[in-house]
Structure formats: C-alpha cells, structure tokens
C-alpha cells in the first residue's frame, strides 16, 4: 500500500520536475491553480520546492480525492486562506505533534466530522475511540487513510495486516487476537464485492439514460443498495465486522439482481 503510494508520488514529483510550467495547458499545477484560484494555501504550497518533506505533503494532497472534490488545505488544517503572507495565513496552525493541533491523531475525529458525520459517529462508539482519547493507543483516521487522507484500505489482506499490527503482534502490548484480522479480511472482501457491483450497476444506469431507456424502478432500488453500502462502510468504523458483512453482502445480492435485470433490458440478445 505504502509502496504504491510512493510510486504514484514519485511520478507526480517527476511531472513537476520534468514538465516546465507553461509547457502544456493540462499541466497539473495549472489545473490546481484554476480550481483553487485565490486560495493562498494551495497557491503558495504548490510552488514550494524546499524543503522536500513539506513539498511531499503537497504532492500527497494533489493526488487525493479531497483535491478532486475541492477540499482545500484550510478545510482540515485551519488557518486563513485569504492571506498571501505565510505567517498570517498560518494563524492558528500548530504542528501535528502538539496535542492542541486539529491534526493531532487524538483530535482528528472532531476535525473530520464536519464532512463525515456518519463515519465519525460510528467511530466514536468504538473501543478504538475510547482508547485513542484515553491513552492515544487506538488507531485514528490517519492510521488507515495515510497522512493526507490519500488512501483507503482496499484489499482484505491489507486490512488484516493493519489490524494484526496491533491485535496479533509481538510488538504490541495488546493480547493476541488473530481472529480479529481474519474477520477484517472477510469484511473487507465483502465491501469490495459490493463496491464492484455498485460501480457496475451505476454504469449500466448511465448507459440506460444515454439510450433513453426507462429504468426508474431500478434507480429506486439502487438507492436502497447505496444506502446499505454506505452503512456497511460506516460499520467498519465501529469495528462491528458482523454488521459490515451482513450489510455489504445484502448490498451485493440486491445490486446483482438489479444489474442482471438491467443487462437483460439493455442487451436482450446477449
């Protein structure tokens, strides 16, 4: 997982170094400047070349879903994006290691809840949250989503490894509970199965729209499936792995039925 991220990042960085600015209209930094015009955090940080540690943070954000969705630095870090001056812009921004920082692992749930209420609510009900608040030992959002929220855990294997690092490791003070990693593996696979069907079915719905085929009923049913899928992902944050599997499997079954009906409707001769 980390390796993949590093490779993507290396290419992103190479892009900056190799492509002189103004070389092409689609040059990455120009796109960003257009979408985030007037946001001084993005404008200044996208141009920083030194020190490398900090520019790498910019690169991580640059390839993230948050950038694609228009979530600028200040939405998570705070500060004042209307200020061109570095000091003024950084008002209120503290190093992550400071317990008062919005980015300190202990405070991330509160920072992220502005936009991810359902997920954070599930997390807050878990032992992980209690332990994070009490001792700082439980995982926080950045444990599984990387520093700049560039990653989601994708494979069952990755999920299992992650849980095992605390729940089944000689390096951890927690009692060995190998079954936790196994259950997480299965739950993650169920999420992936459901995810594939959701993507596939949504593509078919789009095709139906383009072909002006009436699929109102399938669309209604698909809303239920989406809801189940979102609940499954939220349940993952409560570490209620049984619930994750049940909801994800139900989303998968119902989604498959809709998908097959749509295919029969769109391609009757296949």
Residues 83-112 that bind ligand HEC (CB under 6 A): 84, 86, 89-90, 93, 95-96, 103, 105, 108-109, 111-112
Q: Exactly one of 29, 59, 81, 190 binds ligand HEC (CB under 6 A); which one? A: 81
**How many degrees, rounded to 5, is the angle at CA 28 between CA 23 and CA 34?**
100
Minimum separation from the CB atom of position 199 to ligand HEC (A): 11
> Is residue 69 involved in binding ligand HEC (CB under 6 A)?
yes
Q: Smaller CB distance to ligand HEC: residue 128 or 254? A: 128
Q: Exactly one of 16, 29, 58, 156 binds ligand HEC (CB under 6 A); which one? A: 58
Under 8 Å between Cβ of 206 and 263? no
CA distances from 210 to 41, 204, 206, 215, 260 (A): 40, 10, 6, 11, 18
Under 8 Å between Cβ of 84 and 39? no
CA dist 45 and 58 (Å) reads 6
> Is residue 142 involved in binding ligand HEC (CB under 6 A)?
yes
Count of residues touching ligand HEC (by CB under 6 A): 75
Q: Smaller CB distance to ligand HEC: residue 204 or 251? A: 251
Q: Smaller CB distance to ligand HEC: residue 29 or 215? A: 29
> Is residue 184 involved in binding ligand HEC (CB under 6 A)?
yes
CA dist 56 and 49 (Å) reads 9
Count CA within 13 A, CB hemisphere, residue 72. Answer: 21
Q: Exactly one of 29, 107, 144, 252 binds ligand HEC (CB under 6 A); which one? A: 144
Q: Smaller CB distance to ligand HEC: residue 111 or 254? A: 111
Q: Smaller CB distance to ligand HEC: residue 15 or 213? A: 15
Residues 6+ apart with CB under 8 A from 165: 171, 172
CA dist 153 and 269 (Å) reads 39
Minimum separation from the CB atom of position 13 to ligand HEC (A): 15
CA dist 178 and 182 (Å) reads 7
Footprint on residues 149-168 left by ligand HEC (CB under 6 A): 149, 152-153, 159, 162-163, 165-167
Minimum separation from the CB atom of position 266 to ligand HEC (A): 27
Footprint on residues 191-250 left by ligand HEC (CB under 6 A): 191, 195, 230, 233, 236-237, 239, 241
**Which pairs count as long-range contacts for 3-8, CB under 8 Å and 24+ apart, including other chains?**
5/60, 5/146, 5/150, 5/151, 8/63
Minimum separation from the CB atom of position 6 to ligand HEC (A): 15
Tokens representing residue 31 in the block: 């796109």
Tokens representing residue 170 in the block: 């000689």
> Is residue 65 involved in binding ligand HEC (CB under 6 A)?
yes
> Is residue 115 involved in binding ligand HEC (CB under 6 A)?
yes
Q: Which stretch binds ligand HEC (CB under 6 A): 18-26, 53-61, 218-226, 262-270?
A: 53-61
């Amino acid at each position: 997982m980390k390796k993949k991220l590093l490779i993507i990042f290396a290419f992103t960085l190479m892009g900056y170094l190799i492509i002189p600015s103004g070389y092409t209209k689609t040059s990455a930094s120009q796109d960003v400047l257009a979408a985030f015009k007037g946001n001084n955090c993005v404008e200044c940080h996208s141009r920083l070349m030194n020190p490398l540690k900090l520019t790498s943070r910019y690169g991580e954000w640059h390839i993230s879903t948050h950038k694609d969705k228009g979530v600028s630095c200040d939405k998570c870090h705070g500060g004042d994006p209307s200020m061109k001056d570095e000091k003024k812009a950084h008002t209120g921004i503290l190093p992550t290691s400071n317990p008062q920082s919005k980015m300190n692992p202990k405070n991330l749930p509160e920072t992220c809840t502005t936009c991810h209420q359902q997920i954070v609510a599930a997390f807050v009900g878990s032992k992980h949250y209690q332990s994070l608040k009490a001792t700082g030992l439980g995982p926080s959002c950045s444990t599984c989503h990387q520093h700049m929220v560039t990653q989601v855990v994708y494979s069952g294997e990755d999920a299992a490894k992650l849980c095992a690092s605390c729940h089944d490791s000689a390096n951890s003070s927690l009692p060995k509970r190998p079954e936790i990693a196994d259950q997480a593996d299965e739950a993650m696979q169920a999420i992936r199965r459901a995810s594939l069907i959701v993507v596939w079915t949504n593509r078919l719905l789009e095709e139906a729209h383009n072909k002006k085929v009436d699929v109102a009923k399938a669309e209604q049913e698909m809303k239920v499936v989406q809801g189940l899928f979102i609940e499954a992902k939220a349940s993952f944050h409560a570490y209620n792995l049984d619930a994750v599997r049940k909801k994800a499997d139900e989303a998968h079954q119902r989604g498959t039925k809709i998908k097959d009906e749509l295919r029969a409707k769109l391609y009757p001769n296949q």
